[in-house]
Structure 1
Amino acid sequence: MPHHTPLIATIVAGLTLAFAFGALAHRVKVSPLVGYLLAGVIVGPFTPGYVADQGLATELAEIGVILLMFGVGLHFSLKDLMSVRTIAIPGALGQMTVATLLGMGLGHLLGWSLISGLVFGLALSVASTVVLLRALQERRIVQTDRGRIAVGWLIVEDLAMVLALVLLPALAGGLTDAASGPADPLGAWIVPLGVTILKVAGFAALMLVVGRRVIPWLLHWTAHTGSRELFRLAVLAIALGVAFGAASLFGVSFALGAFFAGMILAESELSQRAAEESLPLRDAFAVLFFVSVGMLFNPAVLIEQPWALLATVAIIVVGKSMAAFAIVRLFKYDTNISLTISASLAQIGEFSFILAGLGVGLGLLPEAGRDLILAGAIISIILNPFLFNAVFGLGRVRAGATETPLPIPANDLRSTALSEHVIVVGFGQVGRRLAEGLEIAGRPFLIVDLDDAAERRARDAGFEVVNGNAADARVLTAAGDSIARSLVVTIPNGFEAGGVVEEARRANPELHIIARAHSDAEAEHLRRLGADQIVLGERELADAMLHRLRMPEVDDTEASPSAPEGERLLLADPEWALLAAARASGLAPGDTISAGALMDAAGVSGAFDVPRLHAAIAHLVEQDYFVRLGEERLRITLAGYAASAQAPSL
């Protein structure tokens, strides 16, 4: 077997060093992007030691670009953009114009051409999606007014960059034609741009007419096969296939094709699952993209062009921030929101790298410009957390507070009128089944979900919904966490569930919290964060299957004599309440239920406290109406089922 394997060597070196430097960056509270870029510098041609294959790294980076843009399209939300359109659209375009003009000015001082300055300025004008969202999520302000404005602003910037990526090749072609012959504006500029626009329009029309039908249908068909492997493969095939087809058939960029594929897929009810399934590969190739970008960076620029680099960083951190601050203030928003938007945009990232690479490849941007962009990105990403901390510190001083975070401005979240209710976090298959059961039992409840499609499904079913991230204190407040009886976290991701549990426990120490886990480690993690009860999915499935197998024995041996016909059993009120709850929950002989869920259903009237219900369960077990399965599970017997039929309604 040959040992000279440059592809494997490039992937291994890139991912290994990216992990090492990314972990180090995380340790010192800096975005891991900085670590990935530094890993690329280490294996690049401008530093001693091992040098990865540049050609292979570039091709791997192309896959990274496709999957990055697919993710951007998949998370594109017209609703989010339209909710803040009055500030996000003019604000983003205005700020990009200012940053582009500043970049063109610096390019002119460096002796570059006008078009080089334009590409350079555009690359400095757009913020990193990864860095911005992570900064907002860490401070839990994504669902606030300032968070929505920042995200909407970012969407406009992303759309502008997609347009720039489409038009730059046509612009380069026009420059080439103009340089090789007489200056004919029609032949050199208008015709190439017109042809490009027609190609993009044709591709967009095909995607909107055909893609909107074929892609969701294909994904739903694959989902119905029940194969997770095929579903994941379908998502990747759609992303890569549409991107490659767009480039091959219409001559548009991989990036635009992938963006459209994600945007079309976002309309499907399976979009969230598609995002989850593609995330691991998307993250891996995104890391390789950043590594490949780092390989292009020449550290000599730090010594050879220190003043140009200082000016570049000043445009990113100071120029863009001041422009954004002035625009937001012009629209009559307060200083706290203006400062948050300014800090959010004071960095550059993935789109800047894509644009710089395309500019150099087309001969529109000198390599020195790319080096300045890369160095400026690294420095601005390092500075961004400190800038955010300064902004929040200033906000606390202005608010006269010393220990509490910035007051969150009002938004469109409307608080529930419910009390003593159940908060169901997540409206997937588990959340929907739980909501239906609560409705049958007559328990007051509401749904919390961030996904727009899930929100629509819940509202269509007639349920009350709070749309937002349940890990956000504002969302939990709107859901009435301080006056709720229970909170049930049905989302499958243990890390995300932990954030919800932690925030809910912090807000209400008395709240009864039930969470879902897939492993003992997840269960322990959720317990540490404050969950009262953990439901392990695999264990519940195994228990249910085992007891289904035992049902014939249950019917034959576990029945106990019932009361004579017409005579009511002698049971206490809490015991009748538990049997009525079992009937309301639809339990048949041999079915199982957690003791906590049974007590929650029985305690709907509020007449019985927890100790009385525990004692009632113990008595029902003694009477052979239930059988204990460990500490938390109960199985109803045939006698219990018969007794539940006599129980008065709750």
Structure 2
Amino acid sequence: MDNPFLIFSFVFGLAVCAGMVARIFHQPAFLGHVLVGLLVGYWGLLRGGEINRFLEMLSSAGVMLLLFLVGLEMNVAEVKKMGEKALLIGFSQIVFTIAIFSLLLKLMGISLNLSLFLAAALTFSSTIIVVKLLSEKHDLESLAGKVAVALLLIQDLAAIVILLVLGRGEGNDPMTLSVKVLVLAGLTILMARRVMPKLLHKVARSMDELILFSLAWCFVLASLIASPVIGLSLEIGGFLAGLALSGSFEHSHIATKIKPIRDFFLTIFFVGLGLNLRLDFSIVITAIYLSLAVIFLKPIIIWFLMRCLGYKQRVAFNTGILFGQISEFSFIMVGIGNKVGLLNGSELSLVSLVGLITMVVSGYLILDNESVYRLMKPLLRFFWKDNLSGEDEVKKVIGDRIVLFGCHRMGRSLLRHLAKNKQKMLIVDFDPEAVSRLTSEGYEVIYADASDTEMYDRLNLTKAKMVISTLRDIKDNLIMLSELKRRRLRASVVMDAESVEDAQKLYAAGATYVIFPHFVGGLHLGDLIRKGVCEKEDFESYRKYQQEEMTGVYV
């Protein structure tokens, strides 16, 4: 290797291009990086003791910065918002998946300890893939999207715990590790609340100095924690360094600026991971077997748990299908496991290949989840039909009522106004927690899915006074309009839309009136200005009223 820097630069540039190509095909960039590493390994590039040590150092820095950002953006308050059902599903899924996958791996002749480790690596799903695809499909605000994001947060927290245990260092038994981590975490939280916010506030007068200080803090603290004095790992040090800065107002800005630097180092990590892949026939066959288990069993577990807790068929299925891949943390877990001697090269290659297969396949399943649901719907109904109790009683008394589909945020605000005017209402929602809450408040509610075409026959909406949909899913709203048109509904149908394009589609499908936020916001502000509301004191009464409404709707 005459010019190592030239070869390294060529490989890095190739990895970046491969990541861009992967994004075009709706895949995460690191899949392209791993494939480049695999090709580079077969070409025999980036080989040799010195270059390997260099790659290992950069890879360690990438994982350290990843966990630094995880700690920096850690928001424990989000866990409290998830609700008991999300926490129960999240932790149950982790336990059941590890148990089932451990059994499958044990039946393949793998030792118990190794089976448990590999099962844990296969348990977690990719936050990057799921959130990215949900955003592209505008489904982040759907019930399935909200549940999935909550479950992914629980998985990420569990993955961090495992990474901390893996990075405990030599000579640290579980008790010693626990004591060290608890003491360091306590000191870190104290600094996050008392010291670092004030210090960062002073440093933040210069954005360049803020970022440099944050990077220096991360590297120095992580190196100190990984030194023989404390004896833990860079990964734990990076996480605690980020946690120490998480209480500052500047933490979001720091995270935004450091992400490109993290991505540079992580690109090297994933190239190095691909570089160490060794594929033979037995590994490929085993990887296909485990990939099928990940693609099918993990969604089935999520579906089953959600059905047990009362979620509708479609919500449970659309949430489950999001989890048919392994996580970016899985790659990091097996990379660290290989470094500390828990795994050999074959097992590292096995999990990495499972990751490549499942991420590619599940990405396309997620993008076309509605078609997959229609295909699987008869089978799902055969095993577990939706509970229709209570809908027949509603059918008899639905006349002369305003039917409100969806009662989250806009629906909740509208409900308050309709209740004040003593309007007769029927609420249709498919969030079991919302249905339970509204029922306890004395509202007439049924638990149903707007995309279920049979539901419209049971509700007998032809006698409704008015139909209002605050659902944000354009597909659900179009299905609703189609079913109402087929039943020759004469009542007005008012709908909510995300964009002008969606509003035009709804009008073309037969909506009486469509509301979308930008139009309503501009109309409201223009009306206030027309009334002469311009000075600060003029807005006071409107702001007070708005705050009262927000308290009732969002708290």
State the partner residue of 1:203.
184
Instruction: Please say if residues 76 and 155 of structure 1, whose CA atoms lie closer than 8 Å, have aligned partners that are also in contact.
Output: no
Structure having the larger proportion of residues in helix: 2
Any conservation in 2 of the 1:23–1:32 contact (CA below 8 Å)? Answer: yes
Q: Secondary structure at the match of 1:210?
A: helix
1:443-482 to 2 correspondences below 5 Å: none
Q: Counterpart of 2:365 in structure 1: which amino acid?
A: L
> 1:265/1:119 Cα in 2 relative to 1: closer, same or farther (>3 Å)?
same
Once residues 36 and 194 of structure 1 are traced to their aligned partners in structure 2, the CA distance between those partners, rounded to angstroms, is: 38
Aligned to 1:458: none
1:395 to partner: Cα distance: 5.1
Partners of 1:397 and 1:115 in 2: CA distance: 39
Q: Which of 29, 33, 49 is the matching residue for 2:30?
A: 33
Letter in 1 for 2:257: E
Q: Give the Å deviation of 1:141.
A: 2.3
Q: Which residue of 2 aligns with 1:240?
A: 219
- Partner-residue secondary structure (3-state), 2:304: helix
TM-score (norm 1): 0.57
Structure 2 residue ranges without an equivalent (≥5): 378-403, 415-469, 475-496, 505-517, 533-555
Contact 1:7 1:56 in 2 (8 A): no
Q: Check the 8 A contact 1:66/1:254 in 2, yes or no.
A: yes
C-alpha distance in structure 2 between counterparts of 1:152 and 1:41, whole Å: 34
Give the whole-Å Cα distance in 1 for the aligned partners of 2:143 and 2:330. Answer: 26
Query: What is the SS of the residue equivalent to 1:305?
Result: helix
| Offset from partner CA, 1:19-72 (integer Å, 9 cap, x none) | 22122223333332321111111222xx12423533222211111111212222
Q: Is the 8 A contact 1:312 1:372 kept in 2?
A: no
Equivalent residue of 2:74, what SS?
Answer: coil
Q: CA deviation at 1:505?
A: 4.2
What is the Cα deviation at residue 603 of structure 1?
A: 8.6
| 1:107 corresponds to which of 90, 93, 105 | 105
Provide closer, same or farther for how the CA distance between residues 20 and 197 of structure 1 changes in structure 2, counting only shifts above 3 A: same
Pairs within 5 Å for 1:387-426: 387-394=365-372, 410=406, 412-414=408-410
- Larger of the two Rg values belongs to structure: 1
SS in 2 for 1:341: helix
Deviation at 1:199, TM superposition (A): 0.6
Match of 2:85 in 1: 87
1:260 aligns to 2:240 (yes or no): yes
Query: Number of matched residues?
Result: 409
Report the CA distance between 1:144 and its aligned residue: 3.3
Superposition deviation, residue 207 in structure 1: 0.2
Return the match for 1:382 from 347, 360, 384. Answer: 360
Q: Which residue of 1 aligns with 2:444?
A: none
Alignment of 1:328-339 (within 5 A): 328-339=306-317
Relative to structure 1, is the Cα distance of residues 294 and 410 closer, same or farther in structure 2, using a 3 angstrom cutoff?
farther
Aligned to 2:330: 352
Q: Which one of the candidate residues 51, 68, 81 is aligned to 2:46?
A: 51
Q: CA deviation at 1:17?
A: 1.3
The DSSP-based 3-state class of the residue aligned with 2:110 is coil
8 Å Cα contact 2:28-2:128 kept in structure 1: no
**Are 1:315 and 2:293 an aligned pair?**
yes
Q: How does 1:491-502 map to 2 (within 5 A)?
A: none
Alpha-carbon spacing, 1:63–1:83, altered in 2? closer, same or farther (3 Å): same
Instruction: Compute the displacement of 1:417 (Å).
Output: 7.2
Deviations 1:576-598 (A, max 9, x none): xxxxxxxxxxxxxxxxxxxxx9x
RMSD over equivalenced CA pairs, Å? 3.5
| CA 410–232 in structure 1, closer or farther in 2 if over 3 Å, else same | farther
In structure 2, the CA distance between the partners of 1:209 and 1:371, relative to structure 1 (3 Å rule), is same
| SS of corresponding position for 2:59 | helix
State the partner residue of 1:280: 260
DSSP 3-state at the match of 1:43: helix
1:318 Cα offset (Å): 1.4
Maintained 8 Å contact 1:199/1:251: no
Could you tell me which residue of structure 2 aligns to residue 220 of structure 1?
201
Residue 18 (structure 1) aligned with residue 15 (structure 2): yes
Structure 1: how far apart are the matches of 2:3 and 2:75? 42
Q: What's the CA shift for 1:306?
A: 3.5
Displacement, 1:161? 1.7
Q: Kindly indicate whether the alpha-carbon contact (under 8 Å) linking 1:136 and 1:147 is maintained by their aligned counterparts in 2.
A: yes
Residues 376 and 133 (structure 1 numbering): CA distance in 2 closer, same or farther, change over 3 Å? same
Deviation at 1:124, TM superposition (A): 0.5
Aligned with residue 506 of structure 1, among 501, 504, 513: 501
Q: Which has the higher contact order (CA 8 A, sep 6+)?
A: 2
Structure 1 equivalent of residue 146 of structure 2: 148
The counterpart of 1:605, out of the listed 518, 530, 536, is 530
Pairing 1:295–2:254 present: no
Distance 2:101 2:184 in 1: 32
User: Is contact 2:94–2:123 with CA below 8 Å preserved after alignment?
Assistant: yes
The verdict on how the C-alpha distance between 1:416 and 1:341 changes in structure 2, with shifts beyond 3 A counting, is closer
Against the structure 1 CA distance between its residues 335 and 281, is the aligned structure 2 distance closer, same or farther, given a 3 Å change threshold? same
* Cα contact 1:124–1:315 (8 A) shared by 2: no
Question: Residues 244 and 503 of structure 1: is their aligned pair in 2 closer, same or farther, counting only changes over 3 Å?
Answer: farther
Equivalent AA in structure 2 for residue 316 of structure 1:
V
Q: Secondary structure in 1 aligned to 2:45?
A: coil
Q: State the secondary structure of the residue aligned to 1:252.
A: coil
Q: How far has the Cα of 1:605 moved from its partner?
A: 1.4
Secondary structure, aligned partner of 1:140? coil
Q: Contact 1:99 / 1:315 at 8 angstroms: preserved in 2?
A: no
Structure 2 distance, partners of 1:307, 1:411, is 48
- For residue 90 of structure 1, report the CA deviation from its aligned partner: 2.4
Partners of 1:39 and 1:60 in 2: CA distance: 17
Superposed CA deviations along residues 331-352 of structure 1, whole A, max 9, x for unmatched, are: 1112222123212221113211
Matched letter for residue 178 of structure 2: I
Aligned letter for 1:30? Q
Q: 1:383 to 1:235 in 2, by over 3 A?
A: same
Contact 1:215 1:265 in 2 (8 A): yes
Secondary structure of residue in 2 paired with 1:262: helix
Q: State whether residues 349 and 377 of structure 1, in contact with CA within 8 Å, keep that contact through their aligned partners in structure 2.
A: yes
CA 1:329–1:67: 2 relative to 1, 3 Å:
same
Change (3 A) 1:139 1:195: same
Alignment-derived partner of residue 485 in structure 2: none
CA contact (8 A) 1:145 1:411 kept: no
